[in-house]
Amino acid sequence: MRFALNHIVAPRLSLASFLHLARQLGMSEVEIRNDIPDIVGTMEPDAVKAAAQDNDLTIISINALYPFNVWSGDLPERARTMADYAARCGARALVMCPLNDGRAVADGDLVEALRQMKPILDDHGLTGLVEPLGFPVSSLRLKAKAVEAIKAADGEKTYKLVHDTFHHHLAGETEFFPEWTGLVHISGVADPAVRVEDMLDAHRILIDGDDRLENIAQIRHLLSAGFDGPYSFEPFAESVHALSAPKAALEESLAWVRQAVG
């Protein structure tokens, strides 16, 4: 397995410290963000590229363009700006998240957004990583629907999916798309009291033996189907962000996942 780190795993670390953490854990791939923490809005792309090169790390993606499926307002300009930043900092892809506030987005609008985004990505040599969100309020919950839209937009050479184990479980989706998958986000939920439909980002911790999301079953399925891309840790819980020793916690979770996957 190829493990990677999303900066959300330790958002209080500077970029330099975060990259050093990834190397200490034996990883060669990372994801940077434009929210928590906002690396894109606070660092020049050339400095980000140099820091990654100094640590011999590949930047998988910038996380994330939102809401990519509502192609109006300032979104086109933000998309171009983010694509330019990604290319300049050496990132390989942009994660693209759908509207997630209870409003529906028509299938035609989703396809049109993918069509409009395609030349921006292609011109910058980037992959668009479409990440369906499994929340009940999400406008795009299923990977199957995302694949249909990508095909309709003639985007097979531009787009891949993010398989997020949290969102896969929340959406109740049983179908896997390993041949369409470019990145896997992994996190766990251990709280026994929260209902699946009430799970939020705040419940997402490092994977351990109390995980309710069936991470191990999902990972085994993807591995057996031939997916050989990165599995990136993406926990959002404040209990993880507040850790004074994230390296030790990550080492423990890494060891547990490796042993459980077998």
- Domain holding 151, by residue range, is 2-261
Which two tokens mark 221?
């399925």
- What CATH number corresponds to the domain at position 210? 3.20.20.150
pLDDT of residue 178: 97
CB atoms within 10 A of CB 56: 9
214 confidence band (pLDDT: 50, 70, 90)? very high
pLDDT of residue 193: 97
pLDDT of residue 78: 98
226 confidence band (pLDDT: 50, 70, 90)? very high
Task: List, for residues 157-173, the tens digit of each pLDDT value.
Answer: 999 999 999 999 999 99
Task: List, for residues 55-71, the tens digit of each pLDDT value.
Answer: 999 999 999 999 999 99
How many domains does the structure of the chain reveal?
1
pLDDT of residue 192: 97
pLDDT of residue 258: 97
pLDDT of residue 159: 99
